[in-house]
Structure 1
């Protein structure tokens, strides 16, 4: 159920900001472990997340702080932990020889989110939106192949590869992230969906910083120095991460999670445009076909929802 039209611009901005953030994070992640790289995102994003919440609460739309349901922190923690695990699983898929397969299977997230939202949230999508999800996921999988020839049969044969398993698991955990975040917004007693999204954001990033920071402190303490070493670039990652998450959470609070995720796949379009126009990289015919499918899928999904 769509409760506010703000979800569409918020989702489009989220996709653009995430593509930008990933480009910068590559510079930081080269010298860090998987968990330390994740900590950078949450630690440096925490002040921004809290600042956004406070600015909206006391400056943009002053009002009493809404009551929080008893399961608020539970859903924030569940969504935040699922995102941490999903990110680590995706990086584990990247480390396998079946890199392409793992990446492709991780992109089934939109379809997995649609199925999970039916059982866990009671959401319903019409047939045209389902077609749009299928088409866009197909386009994303073509792009994940990076121009390599991998037809449907090849992807099915690769189902048992470790990279594929990690990829599917990553997509599943990202789906649980969206479910947890959307459910957490239901626990904020306000009709202002943006206020609810920013409150959930601040709480979730705080919990993620504590969870991932605690792990790094206990298991990878030598990484802490590196986390603080390149604070200028890391600060940019934190800023973009919180801005992007604020937009994602706004989308999750105001529209079905599957619809937000399928529209959010325009992130790959922004990434390809950046690579082509800024880095002067050539785009292959198969990648052009993938981009066309992603765009068509998003249009179909929107046509079914609007």
Structure 2
């Protein structure tokens, strides 16, 4: 089995854990503050991980070039704006439409990968991504009671456009992270992925610290007042990001993001078995399509 597959699955599992931990902070701070915690408290973990690699391998700290820094800035800021757009969607009555359209991230990631890096998708991989995409859309519509007809008719509405933009920005960030790591020209994937992660988190932490200090100072104070919970989010989030960056350095970002949708399966299992939540037929069909698409992607590789 190619190494990027188990790394991606582990990253998706950790992302599911991080989301659960972030929800516990929702009463004490806004979604912006919870997002900031992920970056700021993850940065020390990424720094220790990078330092450990340098010490263990005896390698020198990479010297980033202009391309590396440009990709880090573009990717880091794109991820922040994408998150802000998703948060902003909840102010709209039909926010479910926007969140559903944001799930087109995997397809947009594939397009950006082709344009920026010249990555190519096989016919089987393209089919797998489309199958899992339909599954994700079904799950999203089932959870929000969004009719299919309403989904298509709302394409030109502001929430839908915001959702598409969010998915595009997440796609840009994924491709940028892969491009930045590859631009270092280093052998292997561990060191370039670790260095890229550290640089990106440093940029995101600095940017959001300034923004929160100006506009949402209470969130900034809450993040450090609740440091044990914040540290847990940062630790799990950083470990997950180590997996994402490593996998995307090894493999086409579109494949990684597509396989990463296995997170929805983890969420489904948790809600069904642990919390004993009922599952609608549409949601179950969506899970089947997601799993089928992921199996087609993995077996096709």
TM range (shorter): over 0.9
| C-alpha distance 210-14 of structure 1, shift in aligned 2 (>3 A) | same
2:264 aligns with: 268
In 2: Cα distance, 1:290 partner to 1:283 partner: 11
Contact 2:96 2:146 in 1 (8 A): no
Distance 1:151 1:300, change over 3 A: farther
Name the SS of the counterpart of 1:222 in structure 2: helix
**Is residue 46 from structure 1 mapped to residue 60 from structure 2 by the alignment?**
no
Residues 1:116 and 2:104 aligned together: no
TM-score by length of 1: 0.93
2:66 & 2:111 partners in 1: Cα distance? 27
Alignment of 1:159 with 2:155, yes or no, is yes
Q: Which residue of 2 aligns with 1:188?
A: 184
State the Cα distance separating 1:160 from its structure 2 match.
2.4
Q: Give the number of aligned pairs.
A: 301
Query: Post-superposition shift, 1:151?
Result: 5.2
Calculate the aligned-residue CA RMSD, in Å: 1.6
The alignment's TM-score, normalised by the length of structure 2, stands at 0.95
Match of residue 14 from structure 2: 17
Asked if the contact 1:94/1:163 (under 8 Å) is kept, the reply is no
1:100 correspondence with 2:117: no
Residue segments in structure 1 that go unaligned for 5+ positions in a row: none
Measure how far apart 1:70 and its partner are: 2.6
Task: Give the gaps of 5 or more residues in structure 2.
Answer: none
Between the aligned partners of 1:115 and 1:31, the Cα distance in structure 2 is 39
Q: 2:141 & 2:93 partners in 1: Cα distance?
A: 13
Q: Distance in 2 between matches of 1:30 and 1:108?
A: 30
List structure 1 runs of 4+ shifted beyond 6 angstroms: none
* 1:219 aligned partner: 215
